[in-house]
């Protein structure tokens, strides 16, 4: 397959990195979904980066694995969403005759809660655009990515995503200094068909208000309070006794280490938010986390703004 690609003419290649996603700071429903309501989210980008490399070729007419236009798109078998992102981007750019070779690297595991698909999609779109020599805006990248999996990791800073018929994005700004301790319980904590259990309206509006104020003022405690409002609303509504009990354990741990907040579950992960100003004693906190949760995987990250990073650029070094 690679040799078929290499018979074409290499016209460009690029590498793009994007922050990974550790759940959502906010996730819920505004209004009645049957009467024009919609989902809202503020995903949580962290400094565990996903990288995608894309090489583009022309004059290749091998049809054994093509996109319907005689062009071959080759990528990892376990990253089908990344292949789809490259294919859609080439279509958007009007370059459907080009073939592509894709490789993916990731600093974090492909566990349920720390899955990389949204980051891989954004990085693949950015790398395809750059390799083609074209240029599109972050909002265009966000819309392309949202047609596959909604997120905001490609936008600078943090962003509010409104999951309407047409996705809309509101850039919120750069987050205050926050550390995220991710507790991965290894199984799905969210009950199936949990639409009725999601936070809604008042709790969502209050959380977004606190997060906006925290971003404007740089206050980590206010940021943590906003995320906790959503987590508490979810805990009240959750039908799973086991998940509610785990959230109580996480809240108790958070209080014991003076955390500023907790996050609602995202698949298998619950996040604990710590103020990064002044820097917390992370070695002691992680030791406490391992004692409190010996059965789970634990990761520690910095909350960062989203956006595409081009490692080959001198300013990115």
pLDDT at position 250: 97
The answer to whether residues 308 and 141 touch, using CB atoms and an 8 Å cutoff, is yes
Query: Can you tell me the distance from the alpha carbon of 267 to that of 121, in angstroms, rounded to the nearest whole number?
Result: 19
Distance CA(197)–CA(177), nearest Å, equals 30
- pTM of the full structure: 0.87
Provide DSSP, 250-289: HHHHHHHTT-SEE---BTTEEEEEEE-SSPP-HHHHHHHH
Q: What does the pLDDT read at residue 5?
A: 64
> What pLDDT is stored for residue 42 in this prediction?
93
Report pLDDT for 192: 58
pLDDT of residue 183: 95
Report the distance separating Cα 123 and Cα 104, nearest Å.
9
Sheet-wide strand order for 178-184: 261-262, 269-275, 178-184, 297-302
Report how far residue 12's alpha carbon sits from residue 127's, in angstroms, rounded to the nearest whole number.
Answer: 10
Q: Domains of the chain by range and CATH? A: 2-172+305-316 (3.30.230.10), 173-302 (3.30.70.890)
- Sequence-ordered strand ranges (E) for the chain: 9-30, 38-58, 73-74, 99-106, 158-163, 168-173, 178-184, 261-262, 269-275, 297-302
From first to last of its 317 residues, what are the pLDDT tens digits of the chain? Answer: 455 566 679 999 999 999 988 989 999 999 988 898 999 999 999 998 989 999 999 865 544 445 555 678 999 888 899 999 999 999 999 999 999 999 998 765 554 445 578 889 999 999 999 999 999 988 899 889 888 887 767 788 999 988 877 678 899 999 999 999 999 998 888 765 567 789 999 999 999 999 999 999 999 999 999 999 999 999 999 989 999 999 999 999 999 999 999 999 988 999 999 999 888 999 999 999 999 999 999 999 999 998 899 887 645 44
CB-based contacts of 177, cutoff 8 Å, min separation 6? 218, 220, 275, 276, 277, 302, 303
Q: Is 127 helix (H, G, I), strand (E, B) or coil?
A: helix
Strands (E) across 31-122 are located at: 38-58, 73-74, 99-106
Question: Residues 6 or more apart from 312 whose CB is under 8 A from it?
Answer: 14, 15
Q: Is the peptide bond before 278 cis (omega within 30 degrees of 0)?
A: yes
| Residue 92 backbone dihedrals phi, psi, to 5 degrees | -65, -35
Please tell me the predicted confidence (pLDDT) of residue 112. 41
Note the pLDDT of residue 165: 73
Give yes or no for a contact between 149 and 236, defined as CB atoms under 8 angstroms apart.
no
């Amino acid at each position: 397959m690679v040799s078929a690609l290499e018979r074409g003419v290499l016209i460009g290649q690029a590498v793009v990195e994007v922050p990974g996603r550790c759940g959502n700071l906010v996730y819920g429903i505004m209004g009645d979904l049957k009467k024009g309501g919609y989902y809202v989210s503020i995903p949580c980008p962290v400094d565990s980066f996903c990288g995608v490399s894309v090489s583009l070729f022309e004059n290749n007419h091998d049809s054994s694995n093509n996109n319907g236009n005689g062009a071959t798109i080759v990528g990892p078998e376990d990253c089908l969403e990344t292949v789809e992102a490259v294919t859609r981007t080439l279509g958007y750019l009007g370059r459907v005759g080009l073939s592509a070779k894709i490789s993916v690297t990731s600093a974090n595991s492909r566990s349920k809660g720390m899955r990389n698909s949204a980051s891989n999609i954004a990085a693949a779109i950015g790398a395809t655009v750059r390799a083609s020599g074209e240029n599109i805006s972050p909002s265009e990248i966000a819309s392309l990515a949202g047609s596959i999996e909604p997120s905001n990791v490609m936008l600078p800073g943090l962003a509010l995503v409104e999951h309407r018929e047409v996705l809309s994005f509101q850039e919120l700004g750069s987050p205050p200094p926050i550390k995220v301790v991710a507790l991965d319980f290894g199984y799905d904590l969210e009950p199936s068909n949990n639409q009725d259990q999601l936070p809604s309206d008042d709790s969502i509006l209050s959380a977004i208000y606190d997060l906006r104020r925290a971003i404007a003022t740089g206050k980590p405690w206010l940021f943590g309070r906003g995320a906790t409002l959503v987590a508490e609303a979810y805990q009240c509504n959750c039908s799973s006794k086991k998940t509610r009990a785990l959230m109580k354990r996480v809240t108790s741990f958070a209080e014991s280490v003076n955390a500023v907040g907790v996050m609602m579950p995202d698949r298998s992960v619950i996040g604990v938010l710590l103020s990064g100003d002044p820097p917390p004693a992370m070695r002691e906190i992680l030791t406490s986390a391992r004692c409190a949760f010996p059965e789970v995987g634990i990761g520690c990250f910095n909350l960062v703004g989203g956006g595409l990073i081009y490692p080959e650029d001198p300013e990115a070094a």
